[in-house]
């Protein structure tokens, strides 16, 4: 029987912009499921207005980030980062353990134009988008003087989900299955709404008490592989209903959801502190004899004008 520890949600769309962890009752398999909507991915992608393929992979990366952050037991943030020599020079998706999310991509305009010409009638794969490069997951704790944890692997796989599976299998040595989906919903007037869904399952290692868990893992993977993109991004199918469809024979314990929101912690004070940590010669070079330094946040697009004198005073 499927069990849910979360409060019953009457609205079918009540779990949009949330992430939840779950555990199969009769199998040593754990997982996370998320649905991103108006309060997260839609506002982020509309603000940046990236080309379609760039927007899609950022949406997938943000879903991956929030699902990974849901497993972290300390306050902090998770960064999913990919960097290479392709049309997308840098991809950054960040999720805090309290539910704040943000992200951006940096494009090589010349290579992006060539990519569009090459794939007029198709869709590029991750190596086409990022090129030769690496993917990393970085855990940054809020606690001061704590060294960030960073795991990096070469980009391997046609999709971001395959790249993530390669990361967990190689860097974390945890058998993992990942599914990510992005949908555009057309609205009147020609605008669209963005929806993203994601699910991860991971094998719990066997021990003397559990015994061999390989057969249970194989069964869970078989159920998981029936998952469709439409189910992941559906606004009318709640995560609890989706998990019931997949794993009702095993039973599922669904934990209370974490509410997600598009929120950037940038501020003038943060930028001022960052600039003050630079050598004075660099600060003066950036100022170019002006009375203020202009800084813009790549995540949220805010522009800050910081008096050069204020930065120099912090260096005294």
3-state secondary structure of 277: coil
pLDDT of 214: 87
Which residues, in sequence order, are bridge partners of residue 287?
none
* Residue 26, pLDDT score: 84
Q: Does residue 218 share a domain with residue 131? A: yes
Residue 66, pLDDT score: 98
* Cα 263 from Cα 43, distance rounded (Å): 10
Q: What is the model's pLDDT at position 4?
A: 44
Q: What CATH number does residue 296 fall under?
A: 3.90.1280.10
19 vs 262: CA distance, rounded Å? 14
Q: How far apart are CA 175 and CA 187, in angstroms?
A: 40
Residue-level pLDDT at 191: 87
pLDDT on residue 108:
98
Are 248 and 282 found together in one domain? Answer: no
DSSP classification of residue 172? I
Which residues of the chain are under the pLDDT cut of 50? Answer: 1-12
- Split into its structural domains, the chain has a count of 2
Give CA angle at 65 (15, 220), nearest 5°: 70
pLDDT of residue 315: 86
Are residues 223 and 113 part of one domain? yes
pLDDT at 61: 98
> 301 and 177 in one domain?
no
Radius of gyration of the chain (CA): 21
Q: Do 240 and 282 sit in the same domain of this protein? A: no
**Residues 283, 252 within the same domain:** no
Q: What is the pLDDT of residue 217?
A: 93
Mean pLDDT of the chain, nearest integer: 91
Q: What are the strands, taking DSSP E only, across 204-260?
A: 252-254, 258-259
The reply to whether 39 and 174 lie within a common domain is yes
Q: How much is the pLDDT for 206?
A: 65
Query: Any idea what the CATH number is for the domain that residue 35 is in?
Result: 3.55.30.10
Does one domain contain both 129 and 204? yes
Count of Cβ atoms closer than 10 Å to residue 240 Cβ: 21
Supply 236's token pair: 């009318």
- 234 shares a domain with 214: yes
> Does the predicted TM-score (pTM) go above 0.75?
yes
What is the per-residue pLDDT for 83?
Answer: 97
Q: Range of 304's domain?
A: 268-314
Are 68 and 188 in a shared domain? yes
Query: 234 and 300: one domain?
Result: no
Report pLDDT for 288: 84
Which pLDDT tens digit goes with each residue over 191-216? 899 999 999 999 987 665 666 678 89
pLDDT of residue 8: 34
Residues 205 and 283 in one domain: no
């Amino acid at each position: 029987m499927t069990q849910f520890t979360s409060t019953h949600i009457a609205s079918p769309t009540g779990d949009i912009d949330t992430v939840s962890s779950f555990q199969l009752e009769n199998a040593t398999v754990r997982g996370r499921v998320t649905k991103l909507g108006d309060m997260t991915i839609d506002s982020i992608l509309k603000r940046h207005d990236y080309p379609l393929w760039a927007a899609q992979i950022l949406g997938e990366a943000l879903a991956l980030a929030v699902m990974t952050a849901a497993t972290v037991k300390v306050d902090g943030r998770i960064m999913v980062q990919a960097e290479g020599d392709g049309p997308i020079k840098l991809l950054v998706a960040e999720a805090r353990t309290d539910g704040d999310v943000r992200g951006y991509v940096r494009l090589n305009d010349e290579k992006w134009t060539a990519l569009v010409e090459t794939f007029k009638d198709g869709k590029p794969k991750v190596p086409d988008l990022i090129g030769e490069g690496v993917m990393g997951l970085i855990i940054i704790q809020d606690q001061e003087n704590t060294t960030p944890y960073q795991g990096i692997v070469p980009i391997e796989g046609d999709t971001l989900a395959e790249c993530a599976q390669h990361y967990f299998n190689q860097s974390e040595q945890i058998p993992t299955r990942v599914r990510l989906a992005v949908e555009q919903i057309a609205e009147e007037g020609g605008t669209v709404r963005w929806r993203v869904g994601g699910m991860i399952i991971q094998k719990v290692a066997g021990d003397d008490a559990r015994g061999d868990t390989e057969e249970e893992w194989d069964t869970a993977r078989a159920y998981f592989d029936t998952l469709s993109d439409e189910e992941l991004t559906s606004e009318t199918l709640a995560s609890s209903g989706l998990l019931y469809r997949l794993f009702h024979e095993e039973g599922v314990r669904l934990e209370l959801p974490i509410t997600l929101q598009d929120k950037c912690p940038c501020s003038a004070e943060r930028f001022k502190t960052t600039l003050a940590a630079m050598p004075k010669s660099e600060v003066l070079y950036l100022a170019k004899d002006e009375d203020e330094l202009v800084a813009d946040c790549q995540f949220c697009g805010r522009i800050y004008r910081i008096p050069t004198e204020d930065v120099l005073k912090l260096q005294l």
